Chains A and B, each alone.
Chain A
Amino acid sequence: MEVLTPTTLDEALEMLATTSAGDKALRPVAGGTDLLVSWHDQRKDGMRLLDLSRLHGQLNALQLADDQLELGAMASYWDVISSPQVAQAFPLLAQAARQVGAIQIQTRGTWAGNIDNGSPAADGVPVLMAYDATVVLQSRAGTAEVPLDQYYTGYRRTVRRPDQLIVAIRVPRRPRELEWFHKVGARRAQAITKVGVAVVKDVRGWRIVANSVAPVVCRCRALERTLDGGRKFQDPAEIRQILAADISPIDDIRSTARYRGTVLSRLLYYWLLENLP
C-alpha cells in the first residue's frame, strides 16, 4: 500500500500526472467514508492513495456569489448544512446533506468524493445535477469543466482521466419556481437510498434526477420533456410509462426493480398533483 500526501494542489497534480490507469491508478482520498468501510477486509497490496487531507484549507471553501455557488473539492456535507446562506440559496443541498448517513459521516464526506465515487445511489449527486452543477477538473494539462449530467459514462465510470482531480463544483444561481428532494430508504438516517429523486423547475425548464434506478444517477429526460410540454398526468402509471425510457432499475439487496419504478412514479405523481396548479 502506498500513500502520497501532497501539501499543495500543484504537488497533487504533479503526482497524478505520472499515474497510470486501471488498478495501479493513484486514487484521491478526501473524507474516505466509502473507501474505509470494512477497511481491514480489503486488500491493501497495490493500493495507491493520494491523500487530499492536507489540501483541506485550500479546497474546502464555499463561495457564494450572486450568480453561482462554488463548492471546493474538500467541502463537506456539514459545511453546507452549517452555512445558513448556502442552505437558504440551495435548499435541496442542505436537505440531501442532512439525509446522508448521520452527522459523523456528514462532517467527513465531501460532495466531490460523492460525485467521483460514482455510486448509482449517491445522494449528493441528484440535487447537484438538478441544480445544473458543473464539475471542474484540473490536471497538469489544464482545466476542464464538465456538466455533472455528462460526468458519468457507465456504472461507476466517469470522464475523469487518472491524471485529473476534481477541484471544485460550480452551481449556477437562478430564481427557481419549484424544487424538491425526496429519499426513500429503510430508515430515516444511516440508510442507502432505495429510490431518490430531485426536482427543480426554473426558467430553463424541468430537471428531474433520480438515483438508485439506473447504473448511473440520471436525468429523466423523457419525463422532463413531457413536463416542459405542459403535460398533466391522470395516474402514476402514465409517469411510469414515460420513465421506461429514462430509468432501468434492477433487483438488488436493497430493493426491486418493480418497487423502484412504482415508487418513483408515485412520488412524482403525487408531488406534481400538489405542486403544479
Chain B
Amino acid sequence: MDKFELSFTLNGESVTHSVPLDARLLDVLRRDCGCTGTKEGCGEGECGACTVLLDGLPVNSCLVPAFQVQGCDIVTVESVAASVVDVLNRTGTAQCGACTPGIVMSIRWLMQHPQIARQIDLRELMAGNLCRCTGYDSIIAGVKQALKTAGEKR
C-alpha cells in the first residue's frame, strides 16, 4: 500500500506523518500519533468508542479515511481537562472504561454547545456511544453535571 504525507492539527499542535493510503483516522491516531486514548470498539461506526472531534464536530474516527484529514483540526480525549474527568468520576459515569473515551468526547462537545444540549434530548445526543456496564443512567447524570459545571464557568 502506498503511503502519503498527512499533516493536520492534533489537540492544538501541527503534526505530520507518513501513513498508508488506506489508513483510517483511528489508525493514524493510535499508531502514528501514539494517542491510544481513542479506542476501536467495533470498526463499523456503531459503538462510538472512537469518537473524536473533526473540525469541531463529533465523528467516528473508524469511518474517517486519513486522506480526508489533510489540514483538518482533530481533538481527541487526550486533551480533556482533569476537571471534567473529576466531575464524571463523581457521577459514576465510567465502570470498565471501554466506552469512556468516546463518552467523554461526546460530553466535551456538548459542553462546548450547550444550546444543542438544550434543544435535543440528551439520550438522543449520546445514542452514538454504547456502554455495556452502566445502563446509561450514570452517563446521563455525568452529562448533566458536566453541562452544569460548564454553565457555571461562564
Contacts and interface: CB of A to CB of B under 8 A. Distances in A.
A102 B128 contact: yes
Interface string A1-13: 1010100000000
A101 B63 CA distance: 13
Interface string A120-145: 00000000000000000000000000
A176 to B, nearest CB: 23
23 contacts: A1-B2, A29-B68, A36-B63, A36-B64, A36-B65, A37-B43, A37-B45, A39-B22, A39-B24, A39-B43, A51-B65, A82-B116, A98-B124, A101-B45, A102-B127, A102-B128, A104-B48, A105-B60, A105-B63, A107-B54, A107-B59, A108-B59, A190-B46
Given A101-B45, A103-B58, A104-B48, A5 B67 contact: yes
Contacts of A53: 68
Contact of A190 (B2, B24, B128): B128
A98 B127 CA distance: 11
A78 interface: yes
Interface of B: 1-2, 21-22, 24, 43-46, 48, 51, 54, 57-60, 62-65, 67-68, 106, 116, 120, 124-125, 127-130
A105 B124 CA distance: 13
Contact of B21 (A3, A37, A78, A105): A3
B44 A1 contact: no
Given A33-B60, A105-B45, A189-B124, 15 more contacts: A1-B21, A5-B67, A29-B68, A37-B44, A37-B45, A39-B22, A39-B43, A39-B62, A39-B63, A78-B57, A98-B120, A101-B45, A103-B58, A105-B128, A190-B130
B40 to A, nearest CB: 10
Contact of A38 (B43, B48, B57, B65): B43
B21 A104 contact: no
A37 B65 CA distance: 11
Contact of A37 (B59, B63, B67, B127): B63
Contact of B127 (A33, A78, A107, A188): A188
Contacts, number: 87
A53 B64 CA distance: 11
B65 A29 contact: yes
Nearest to B105: A104
A1 B45 contact: no
> Closest 3 CB pairs between A and B?
A102-B128, A189-B127, A107-B57
Contacts of B54: 107
Nearest to B125: A103
